[in-house]
Amino acid sequence: MSKRWISFDLDGTLMQNPFGAWVFPEIARVISIQLGREHDIVSEMVAEHEQRMSQKRYVEAYDWDDILASRCDAWSIEKMIDIESLVRKHSVMPKVKLLEDGILQMLEEIKKRGFSLAVVTNGFYKFQAPVMEALGLLEYFDEIITPERAGTGKPDPVILQKLQGEVIAHVGDRLDHDVQLANRSHVTSILIERNLPEELLKLQPRMRANDHGMPLFCLEKWRRECKNLLLLELPELFMPRMVIHSMGELLSALDEQGMG
């Protein structure tokens, strides 16, 4: 019998990683010490990441060690930091956390319904696995698809093709990565958005996506993702098929769609 998959994004969807609050600030401190002055190396790294993404160099865009090495070369200093080691150092609670209570129980229930679970993330395995392990997530997933393993990243549909069987739905928090990936792959796109306005919050998940207020809400969200407030029209590929405000809604949302 062919496997039926539900795939999940990680960061912003299931968990909070330590990069923003702990890993990047430590990198900045070490580099500033090496240079002998305060220097915002993180902004340079993020700019390099965004440039690589715009060039669809999805694997290189999330190779933070390579990005850091390139910035160190530019400043003629030695790269003395191993980012994987920093991630492991900071993968302890409360530096990392699950974004909701009950997430592990929800994953267990989905597995009981006969689904196979996959992570489809743009983070390298060496950066994601320590966080997943610390939070108890690792054991729930049958596959973990990452850019350096797949040879590409979201939103390239090729990354979902690494799953053998039928992908029923992909759940994520970003329109440009997750929703676009699912729609391009002809898979049900499920957006998790924990900051829904009240008028959308009161609707059922399958009704939210079709509500007249959703296109404008998604356009504003896409502008924030792109850091471009001048975008005027949201591509249809970026419109989710279902919208949930918490992982606690996912099971009922799957039932609504006849997927449960």
The residues facing 7 across adjacent strands are 118, 170
Instruction: Give the residue extent of every domain in the chain.
Output: 4-17+94-256, 19-90
Rounded-to-integer distance, Cα 88 and Cα 80, Å:
16
- pLDDT at residue 260, as a whole number: 59
Superfamily of domain 4-17+94-256: HAD superfamily/HAD-like (3.40.50.1000)
Task: Provide the pLDDT for residue 231.
Answer: 77
**How does 157-193 read in b/e, with b if 16+ C-beta sit within 10 Å?**
bebbeebeeebbbbbbbbbbbbbbbbbebebbbbbbb
In a 3-state reduction of DSSP, which class is residue 71? helix
As to burial, measured by CB atoms within 10 angstroms (0-12 exposed, 13-18 middle, 19+ buried), residue 41 is: buried
Give the per-residue pLDDT at 151: 97
Q: What are the 10-residue block averages of pLDDT along the chain, 260 residues in total?
A: 92 97 97 96 96 96 98 95 98 97 96 96 98 98 97 96 94 97 97 94 90 92 85 90 94 76
Examine residue 25 and say whether the peptide bond preceding it is cis (omega within 30 degrees of 0). Answer: no
